[in-house]
Structure 1
Amino acid sequence: MSFKPRFSKSSSCIYVGNLPGNVIEEEVYDLFGKYGRIKYIDIKPSRSSSSSYAFVHYYDLKDADYAIERRDGYKFDGFRLRVEHSGENRSFGKYRKKDDGVGPPIRTENRVIVTNLPDNCRWQHLKDIMRQCGDVGYANIERGKGIVEFVSYDDMLYAIEKFDGAEFKVYDDYYIVFSIYKVVYI
């Protein structure tokens, strides 16, 4: 498993926003497969039932860049797509909806600690990675340790199962291994 900062333009993962709520993987593949080889597609429902979003992971950065160039602003099934490198600082502009998740963090007791983070890891990186397991309400990093709070208890357990001991490639010859555990309140 590779660790690539998702907010970076050096990532071969793209964010596709404002998809129809009932979109299926094959439709996303049809839209983006022509721009390069796709590793996988991860479709997420939006908090609004009328739309969803996806992360399309390409093997090659050039293919991701080409897909962004060709599909950003493209109209699909009545929805104007927003396509950009995954995790970029998105302002949402005219696409912003009241319930799009932008706003104050949601604090919960479904908290995990993530250790052994690289020095260049920011809370945005960590939150993007942990979103693979579910809705993240809060994320922060202090002194090389990350704190992530999930909206759902089950999502927190899945994150522990998926990422504890997971190896991430940070540089060409440098790997890190996440250690993740639940915070127990006494």
Structure 2
Amino acid sequence: MVTASSADRPQAALRDTRTQLFVGNLPYRVRWQDLKDLFRKAGTVLRADVSLGPDNRSRGYGTVLLATAEDAGRAIDMFNGYCWQTRVLEVRPDRLGSSPEPDAHLVPPTIPQPLALSGIHINDPTKALPVTDPQAGSPGMRSLFIGNLPFHIQWQDLKDLFRAAGSVARADVALGPDGRSRGFGTVTFITEDGAERARRLFDG
């Protein structure tokens, strides 16, 4: 005899295995349908989104919701480091969008909003934070210390925001032993002009 609760069990298991991935460094002309078509090669895609700015242009990152953890793992293996339209993708689990609710595929997933950064402060990292990035000492490159970051902000959010000021070589958010943000980080610009522009745009 099959009870109602046992009949529901496979559906509950399916919901529990849905996994959302963050996809960074997207080509700016890519839209959600392109993203969905690409990731279908790895498994069943329930939803794909590309984050858009106020001008309706891509911010260069998005999310893909896959039906199972196995599909998500396959997608990471296939597409993390994959060269797509001359850009190398970064694919990883989306911590902010994990464990979607049963109807999460009907509503936009949670996507970090870089412009939500308010009250951040910027100064010389040599006085506040050791910079371990070997590129930071390259000729012309300059790193900025970014303090007072919201704790949900990740390195990709930081990099996407500071690209408005100039070419960013690297962005890092300092993490504690528990893997959670410590509320500060660094952004390394390819030129000093970009770093100065960032200070004027975002300090405070």
- TM interval, shorter chain, is 0.3 to 0.5
TM-score, normalising length: structure 1: 0.41
> When you count strand as a share of all residues, which structure comes out higher?
1
Please say which structure displays the higher CA radius of gyration: 2
TM-score, normalising length: structure 2: 0.37
